[in-house]
Amino acid sequence: MNNVVKPSERPAAPEPAGRKQGGFHYAFLIVASGIVLTCVPCALVYSCAGIYFTPVSEYFHVAKATFTLYFSIANIAMMIGLPVSGKLMSKLDIRIVLTTGVIFDGAACIAMSFFQAVWQFYIAGVFIGLGTAPLLYLAVPTLINAWCRKRVGFFVGLCMAFTGIGGVIFNPLGTALIKSGPEGWRTGYLVFGIIILIVTLPFTIFIVRSKPADKGLLPYGAAEDHANIIGAESKAETEQVRGVSAAKAMRTPAFFALALFCGIITINQTVYQFLPSYCQSFEASLPQIAALSGVVASACMAGQALGKVLLGTINDKSVVAGLSTGIGGGIIGVVLMWFLPAQAAILMVGAFLFGFVYACTTVQTPLLVRAVFGSRDYTNIYSRVSSVGAFAGAFAAVFWGFIVDLPGGFPIMFALSLGCMVLAFVLGVWSLKQAKKLEAISE
């Protein structure tokens, strides 16, 4: 007698361990971890770095440029460390890489509170750059890409928005600590380092996981057929490895176009640092505008925080629309600030909209890479693309500083900024058009 069970008579396969129907998904804890990574270590060592420039340089009786050289060293170290971090994250448990990065940042801040010479900060800059590389550029897009199938853009944008929000939270704290005594900057660095370690390490050690399979789960939003869950798991696994390998991707024109996009958009982002100086240039003719220098900078930061969430949400519907929103907002912002500076409200709106293109650096770039090359070797590809941005960031401030010191420097800066944004838009759209062609080499 034939005892073979017909497919229709087979019992439904059990759900993967720990998988809930609806409700809470472990991916939300991954998103929370991404928020902590950007809000705490990334914000404390980068978004809050500027509050130490004056007190530390004055304490050691050196020019600001002498002290802030450590920041350029950190960017160069980040550029070198990104490809290495990407390779390690694709081979090792991601917790090892992220925990090491957090320790580097926290330990560097604590060590800076004890330094007795400026050259020691240069060494700390190396560790800050190496530590922040995986935390700022790679952690969020890599984790969200692995753990989510829907709302990827929204979650990436939400997490990255906290680099700015963290600055809003911790800059006042750091300023208060610095003002607490003649060497208050030492207390500030010490407290910042302790916060980085105490708040962030529990997430990187106990919560973060490289992929849903490590918890016996499917990615958030993965298509599921509960009558054939095994087939659904296979589908999810197939989706995870779709795309182009890093070796093949780096030989394509699209890769170089995206790398150039990242470099240009990072250079353009740095214009933000000179908006207060632009306002102050009206001291003689429009003193009321000069008085708004700090408020304009805050408006831009508000724009980039909101812009990151907005761009992520729009990218979930259309990457081209997201690219258009980010760069379009930046173009309108520059035009308003350049041609209508006498109107305080318009100037503020312009700075706010410029924040949208600022947001493109850490939101639009990773989403473009994912859209063009897929998920198969995402971390390795994106780490190399973002290393170009880190390299550009190492000299962007010097470049714009030279420009604004020229006669008619600020109009030149705005004109070059418009050129950067137009070129970045062309590169982004062209790269997206190559995605279908790349499918032929993804097998």
pLDDT tens figures, 73-119: 998 999 899 999 999 998 889 999 999 999 999 999 999 999 999 99
pLDDT tens, 60-72? Answer: 998 887 888 898 8
Cα torsion angle, 36, 126, 93, 439, sign = positive
Contacts of residues 215-219 at CB distance under 8 Å and 24 or more positions apart, as own/partner, are 215/17, 215/18, 215/26, 216/16, 216/17, 216/18, 216/19, 217/16, 217/17, 217/18, 217/19, 217/25, 217/26, 217/27, 218/16, 218/19, 219/27, 219/146, 219/147, 219/148, 219/149
pLDDT score of 212? 92
pTM, two decimal places = 0.81
Measured distance CA(66)–CA(46) in Å, rounded: 18
Enumerate domains of the chain plus CATH numbers.
Answer: 27-215 (1.20.1250.20), 242-441 (1.20.1250.20)
Which residue in 69, 209, 196 sits closest to 132, CA to CA? 196
Which pLDDT tens digit goes with each residue over 26-49? 999 999 999 999 999 999 998 888
Q: What is the pLDDT of residue 15?
A: 47
Whether the pLDDT of residue 239 is over 50: the answer is: no
Q: Tokens at residue 64, please?
A: 């600001």
pLDDT tens-digit profile of 284-319?
A: 888 888 887 778 888 888 898 899 999 999 999 999
